[in-house]
């Protein structure tokens, strides 16, 4: 995925409107945070049935800056998403089809609107539904299109897509149809703790989230730790039903049912793992989401970077060549290359445009 590449680009967003009925039930106030509202998980490539995606809705009165919102299914022991704060490659994603990704800078979600994120790429999504998503997890085409990709939460957090060594198709098994989780969470880049926003789980208990015993130290210079509050025990979580081919899971309650509203690890103190998903979600048809409009402009992608000549001796100048693919109407017009030697401090130098997507810096 794109690293340290700056491109001047216009930003805007026209959300898509999700065609579904969302009920506000009970005595609780309407949701005060972003919500996952529709998800398609059971698909096939041959014959082509469905295309994995999630819809995210803003039921609040404020525009959400999505640049610190993350999507992940990295919940298994040894590589959970909440370890992203520890740096050093922690935070999961990038193996076994798991991912940990955030929205690009400038991404917004205005009040009352919904966006769609394709987990299989925009080309596959359009082939199934006839419209483009607002975002794609990775670029699945051989050339860049105008649909912006999510950004790796850490280097290797997606690990596939155009410009990645693994290629532009996800590995198998990828998302598991019958047992998986999906977490939308928030991290400001500095705190010890991430904040859960909305959570889905279906099928077996192994992927479910429980941070109850976790004590962790984030990226600050101190050594003081912070502790997560109790999540709902894995065995007590109420999963949504597993849909079949040509179906979807769809939220039918914006109030999140019987979710515990205080003392949790959510951004609004909710315990997001306590929602009774079997009641607040229903199985519906996997119909095409309404066509989206312009969102964050897709960014250029680096596809190759290497020294043009090998260094022959200490302090010798080295020229770095970089190849960049640019999406339509958003060509890279400025680039800085950052480098360091033997684990030293990062240094930056401006690159010159050689034409045809080639850049170089010495």
| Burial class (CB within 10 angstroms; exposed 0-12, middle 13-18, buried 19+) of 100 | buried
Q: Retrieve residue 275's tokens.
A: 């929602």
How high is the pLDDT of residue 13?
28
CA dihedral 55, 179, 247, 19 (to 10 degrees): -20
How high is the pLDDT of residue 102?
94
How high is the pLDDT of residue 4?
31
329 pLDDT band (50/70/90 cuts)? low
Q: Which residue has the higher pLDDT, 100 or 143?
A: 100
- 33 by DSSP, 3-state: which? coil
Distance separating alpha carbons of residues 62 and 151, to the nearest angstrom? 24
Residue 277 phi, psi (nearest 5): -60, -25
Beta carbons of 258 and 275 less than 8 angstroms apart:
yes
Instruction: Compute the C-alpha angle 328/334/340, nearest 5°.
Output: 125
Mean predicted confidence (pLDDT) in 291-313: 54
Q: Which of 48, 51, 54 is nearest to 34 (CA)?
A: 54
- Say if residue 232 is preceded by a cis peptide, omega within 30 of 0: no
Q: Identify the sign of the CA torsion 322, 328, 333, 334.
A: negative
Distance separating alpha carbons of residues 257 and 201, to the nearest angstrom? 15
Q: Which residue has the higher pLDDT, 331 or 26?
A: 331
190 pLDDT band (50/70/90 cuts)? very high
Distance separating alpha carbons of residues 20 and 113, to the nearest angstrom? 13
Q: Identify the sign of the CA torsion 80, 64, 24, 250.
A: negative
Q: Retrieve residue 261's tokens.
A: 């509203």
Mean predicted confidence (pLDDT) in 261-281: 96
Mean predicted confidence (pLDDT) in 43-58: 82
pLDDT at 2 over 90: no
Cα→Cα distances 117→62, 77, 219, 348, Å:
21, 26, 29, 33
Beta carbons of 258 and 28 less than 8 angstroms apart:
no
Give the global pTM.
0.74
On the CB side of 91, CA atoms within 13 Å amount to 29
Average pLDDT of the residues of the chain: 78
| pLDDT tens digits along 164-175 | 555 555 554 455
Domains and CATH numbers, the chain: 1-299 (2.60.40.1260), 301-361 (no CATH)
Mean predicted confidence (pLDDT) in 37-41: 92
Number of CB atoms found within 10 A of residue 39's CB: 23
pLDDT at 189 over 50: yes
- 18 by DSSP, 3-state: which? coil
354 pLDDT band (50/70/90 cuts)? low
51 pLDDT band (50/70/90 cuts)? confident
How high is the pLDDT of residue 310?
58
Highest averaged pLDDT of the listed ranges 4-8, 21-25, 159-163, 247-251? 247-251
Mean predicted confidence (pLDDT) in 240-257: 92
Distance separating alpha carbons of residues 4 and 336, to the nearest angstrom? 7
| Burial class (CB within 10 angstroms; exposed 0-12, middle 13-18, buried 19+) of 113 | buried
Beta bridge partners of 25: none
Q: Retrieve residue 216's tokens.
A: 């962790």
Pairing of strands 301-307, 352-355: unpaired
Distance separating alpha carbons of residues 84 and 359, to the nearest angstrom? 32
Q: Tell me what percent of the residues of the chain surpass a pLDDT of 70.
A: 66
- Say if residue 173 is preceded by a cis peptide, omega within 30 of 0: yes
């Amino acid at each position: 995925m794109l690293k340290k590449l700056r491109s001047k680009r216009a930003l805007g967003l026209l959300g898509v409107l999700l065609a579904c009925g969302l009920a506000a039930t009970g005595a609780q106030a309407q949701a005060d945070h972003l919500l996952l509202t529709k998800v398609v998980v059971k698909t096939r490539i041959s014959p082509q049935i469905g295309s994995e995606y999630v819809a995210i809705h803003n039921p609040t009165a404020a525009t959400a800056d999505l640049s610190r919102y993350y999507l992940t299914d990295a919940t298994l022991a040894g590589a959970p998403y909440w370890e992203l704060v520890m740096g050093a490659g922690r935070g999961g994603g990038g193996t076994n089809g798991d991912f940990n990704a955030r929205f690009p800078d400038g991404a917004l979600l205005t009040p009352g609107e919904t966006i769609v994120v394709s987990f299989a790429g925009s080309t596959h999504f359009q082939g199934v539904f006839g419209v483009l998503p607002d975002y794609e997890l990775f670029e699945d085409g051989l050339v860049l299109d105008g649909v912006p990709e999510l950004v790796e939460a850490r280097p290797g957090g997606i690990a596939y897509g155009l410009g990645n060594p693994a290629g532009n198709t996800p590995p198998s098994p990828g998302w598991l149809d019958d047992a998986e989780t999906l977490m939308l969470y928030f991290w400001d880049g500095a705190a010890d703790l991430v904040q859960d926003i909305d959570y889905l789980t279906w099928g077996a208990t192994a992927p479910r989230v429980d941070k109850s015993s976790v004590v962790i130290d984030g990226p600050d210079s101190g050594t003081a730790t912070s502790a997560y509050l109790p999540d709902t025990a894995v065995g007590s979580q109420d999963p949504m039903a597993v849909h079949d081919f040509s179906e979807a899971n769809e939220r039918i309650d914006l109030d999140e049912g019987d979710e515990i509203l205080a003392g949790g690890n959510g951004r609004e103190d909710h315990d997001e793992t306590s929602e009774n998903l079997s009641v607040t979600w229903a199985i519906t048809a996997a119909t095409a989401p309404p066509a989206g409009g312009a969102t964050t402009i897709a960014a250029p992608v680096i596809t190759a970077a290497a020294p043009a000549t090998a260094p022959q001796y200490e302090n010798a100048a080295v020229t770095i060549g970089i190849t960049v693919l640019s999406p339509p109407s958003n060509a890279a017009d400025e680039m800085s290359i950052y480098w360091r030697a033997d684990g030293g401090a990062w240094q930056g130098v401006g690159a010159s445009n050689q034409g045809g997507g080639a850049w170089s810096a010495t």
